[in-house]
Structure 1
């Protein structure tokens, strides 16, 4: 039996996306034992995944503690992996892969890659499907270029029936009517430069309520509550009764349970969008002006999954442009991504979902 380690550190969206590698391996190397090395805080999105035999949890603090990190590397070496696939490709995963002493170590090509890996592949801007550049680049680690389109897999989150039932009980106890649309709002991105201006977000919320007469719950963490309240204050007073501020997941699995009962998710690009897609929940995503839409607009089809980006309105601005420069100008560029530009796309999306 082959023992294979897949490495994907850092963000929830990345960990969820790279889980397709575990699924691909299990389907094409059925006798393999697949381990998945991830940051501890991202575990909830891969719990119960039938294609992962063992999760190897990495605590980022270990990277700063040389003794603890060295102990972790020795633990990896003792596993005697046959193959290591590093989908992260940065310092900590370089060292994990190299320390494994696996006969086959695969990652992305960088100037220093040959010191750590036996095989490297090049990320490419070419996309063959609507799965998105980020997903297709993952597949390049395991399949040849001409086989990418036929090997597309969708990331999936596996909730238990009891988790869904607990979430349903919570919604009922909070006064949410199961016969009306329930909409999750990705009210904030993972950083200020990945979040719509407060006024624009409030306008989108008002428009969503006006069109759906639905019930809205927000996705946020406790440390963001003050900023969320600032946006809430900007919502039209007559529409605030549609917002259930007290209904939110206290943990990631609880959030996923609530999300699984939603009719759609609307909001800033980020991990919540990817989680919604992994639960087959329709999504409307607003991308930050400095994030590559082509990389992360997974499975955009113009109906169930719709995404807008400043480049959709000002394509000339993005010709031969540097996203690093745009990152520094994010506040200014967000002002150009106005409600009037976004609203027609949002209206069409909502109309399509309500009819389906």
Structure 2
């Protein structure tokens, strides 16, 4: 049996959807399980023992209708028995159609129901702690007779990666007898980035409470923005920040994060990857992001704060409807609103 899971786009989505492979492997131990993802997301699923093959969706294919059709036809040649389309957009609809699979599963959308044998309606509320992103993905396996299990995404580092990253930190004078925190200082875009002056206050509180060592998560092209946040921190705080100690690749970031006591900052890929590594997290949600969906496995070790938690009267419509108002809402999300929550987390 051959099964294909389709999950294009963002790193957090690809990581979260990887839970399906663990469930499928239990049900079909001898099946070939393949994963179709964007090429820039591969780092979070490397070494996953439940995934047999990666099929890469490149920018070239994404940006050309002719190449997309050719790519979709190539999937048909693989003769998959089952296709689970988690992405559920036009490009993945096309790939699913051309796959020729006898069983095609995706989320229910009015324009695509004819393309799939099973169209699963998303849950809109969840009483558990796993988050709707987990619940709805597991629902996609129900037509295969797989009961929902609250499987956590996992990232698989090698012993070499762990050893090399520890040596790297030691070479840069990190003291493993003291707390070490990774700060997710920047979100994936302006509308998912906590205001710089507020983030600086969060980092100040972190140092005041713990005297911990601080790493910033950023990539080289974001250095100026990260430095702006550092400059807004108190002088005492700045002495605790190892600004030039960061991962130059996603796998290096993951290996460094493995050694941290917690990841704190903007909700997004860094937070989700930390959870998949078993590292504690404190996530600051953008005002327009639905916390019920993406606050995965929230508990004392994984805390999420959202403006709606403190000022529910502002939310007269669903969170997504506030996307264009994100920056003005961020201004209302002052750090003192969740200061006690942060301090309790640090304790």
Which residue pairs with 1:16 in the alignment? 15
Query: 297, 319, 326: which is aligned to 2:322?
Result: 326
Q: Secondary structure at the match of 2:338?
A: helix
Q: Secondary structure at the match of 2:282?
A: strand
Query: 294, 297, 301: which is aligned to 2:295?
Result: 297
TM-score when scaled to structure 1?
0.94
Q: Take 1:61 and 1:246, find their aligned partners in 2: how far apart are those partners?
A: 34
C-alpha displacement of 1:128: 4.1
Which residue pairs with 1:46 in the alignment? 45
Which residue pairs with 1:307 in the alignment? 304
Q: Take 1:147 and 1:69, find their aligned partners in 2: how far apart are those partners?
A: 32
Q: Take 1:287 and 1:101, find their aligned partners in 2: how far apart are those partners?
A: 40
Q: Take 1:23 and 1:114, find their aligned partners in 2: how far apart are those partners?
A: 27
Q: Take 2:140 and 2:129, find their aligned partners in 1: how far apart are those partners?
A: 19
Query: 331, 334, 341: which is aligned to 1:335?
Result: 331
Which residue pairs with 2:221 in the alignment? 223
1:10-89 residue pairs with structure 2 within 5 A? 10-89=9-88
Q: Take 2:319 and 2:267, find their aligned partners in 1: how far apart are those partners?
A: 16
Which residue pairs with 1:167 in the alignment? 165
Superimposed CA distance per residue, residues 292-320 of structure 1 (whole angstroms, 9 cap, x where no aligned partner):
0000000001x10111001111122224x
Q: Take 2:167 and 2:221, find their aligned partners in 1: how far apart are those partners?
A: 26
Q: Take 2:328 and 2:4, find their aligned partners in 1: how far apart are those partners?
A: 43
Q: Secondary structure at the match of 1:95?
A: helix
1:155-194 residue pairs with structure 2 within 5 A? 155-194=153-192
Q: Take 1:110 and 1:53, find their aligned partners in 2: how far apart are those partners?
A: 29
Query: 314, 319, 323: which is aligned to 1:317?
Result: 314
Q: Secondary structure at the match of 1:84?
A: strand
Alignment length, in residue pairs?
347
Q: Take 1:108 and 1:84, find their aligned partners in 2: how far apart are those partners?
A: 12
Which residue pairs with 1:114 in the alignment? 113
Segments of 5+ residues of structure 1 without an aligned counterpart are: 352-356
Deviates more, 1:172-181 or 1:255-264: 172-181
Q: Take 2:320 and 2:301, find their aligned partners in 1: how far apart are those partners?
A: 31
1:266-305 residue pairs with structure 2 within 5 A? 266-301=264-299, 303-305=300-302
Which residue pairs with 1:354 in the alignment? none
Superimposed CA distance per residue, residues 294-351 of structure 1 (whole angstroms, 9 cap, x where no aligned partner):
00000001x10111001111122224x1334411111111111111112111000000
Q: Secondary structure at the match of 1:170?
A: helix
C-alpha displacement of 1:59: 0.3
Q: Take 1:90 and 1:208, find their aligned partners in 2: how far apart are those partners?
A: 41
C-alpha displacement of 1:147: 7.9
Segments of 5+ residues of structure 2 without an aligned counterpart are: none
Q: Secondary structure at the match of 2:23?
A: helix
Superimposed CA distance per residue, residues 56-109 of structure 1 (whole angstroms, 9 cap, x where no aligned partner):
111032122233323322221111000000001001111111110111110001
Q: Secondary structure at the match of 2:142?
A: coil
Q: Secondary structure at the match of 1:242?
A: coil
Q: Take 2:14 and 2:83, find their aligned partners in 1: how far apart are those partners?
A: 16
